[in-house]
């Protein structure tokens, strides 16, 4: 009897966790469908993050830090990195061509909006580790290694590691994807651009790991 009850509880818990994960994934996709013509940005970013995390587990200075992560929570949280875009007007988000300085400043607010939305979600939930990762990636994924990013102009390892990873994979996927304001570039072109930004936009260690994993990355990009 007790074993049957435990099995029922375990089944219901698994079902609720699956439902939660599906809703969060859908929430991220809902936002991305506004400016992602393929509808695969969330899926691709999660897979690139997994490749980068696995690579960083094997070599480099971040092995200890990543060993303490709940990797599944990080990957779940990655779906919400751009959730703040839901508050960006279509005339800015979907504009064909370069944004004006005023429009760009408004676009940059999506980082703050994302953090605020996730804090609001956190007020309704408790004990969800993915929310901390989600807030970090939403708020800091436009910071740059050299301190010239936004919204806080953080520099180097002051930027959370998960956000530094997101910065790299998000830019890669944006480059190899069609957007309302640009055509797609090739995998090799994107890698060259990322390597040029090594130590400027991106964490140099992560760039090296990403390039070493480029065959895996290319399979996903072509998939």
Q: Known catalytic residues?
A: 85
Q: How far apart are CA 187 and CA 175, in angstroms?
A: 8
Chain centre distance of CA 8: 35
Q: How far apart are the first and last CA of the chain?
A: 48
Chain centroid to Cα 176, Å, comes to 16
CB burial readout 152-174, b (16+ within 10 A) else e: eebeeeebbbbbbbbbbbbbbbb
Is the peptide bond preceding residue 58 cis, with omega within 30 degrees of 0?
A: no
């Amino acid at each position: 009897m007790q074993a049957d009850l435990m099995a029922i509880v375990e089944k219901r818990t698994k079902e609720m966790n699956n439902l939660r994960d599906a809703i969060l994934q859908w929430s991220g996709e809902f936002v991305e469908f506004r400016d992602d013509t393929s509808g695969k940005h969330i899926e691709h970013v999660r897979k690139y993050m997994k490749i980068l995390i696995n690579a960083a587990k094997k070599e480099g200075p971040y092995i200890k830090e990543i060993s303490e992560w709940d990797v599944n929570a990080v990957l779940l949280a990655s779906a919400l990195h751009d959730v703040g875009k839901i508050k960006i007007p279509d005339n800015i988000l979907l504009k064909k061509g370069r944004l004006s300085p005023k429009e760009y400043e408004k676009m940059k607010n999506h980082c703050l909006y994302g953090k605020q939305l996730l804090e609001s979600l956190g007020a309704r939930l408790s004990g969800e580790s993915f929310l901390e990762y989600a807030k970090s990636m939403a708020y800091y994924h436009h910071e740059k290694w050299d301190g010239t990013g936004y919204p806080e102009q953080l520099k180097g390892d002051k930027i959370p590691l998960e956000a530094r990873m997101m910065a790299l994979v998000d830019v890669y996927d944006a480059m190899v994807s069609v957007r309302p304001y640009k055509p797609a570039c090739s995998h090799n072109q994107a890698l060259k651009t990322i390597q040029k930004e090594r130590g400027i936009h991106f964490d140099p260690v992560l760039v090296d790991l990403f390039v070493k994993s480029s065959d895996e990355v290319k399979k996903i990009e072509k998939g």
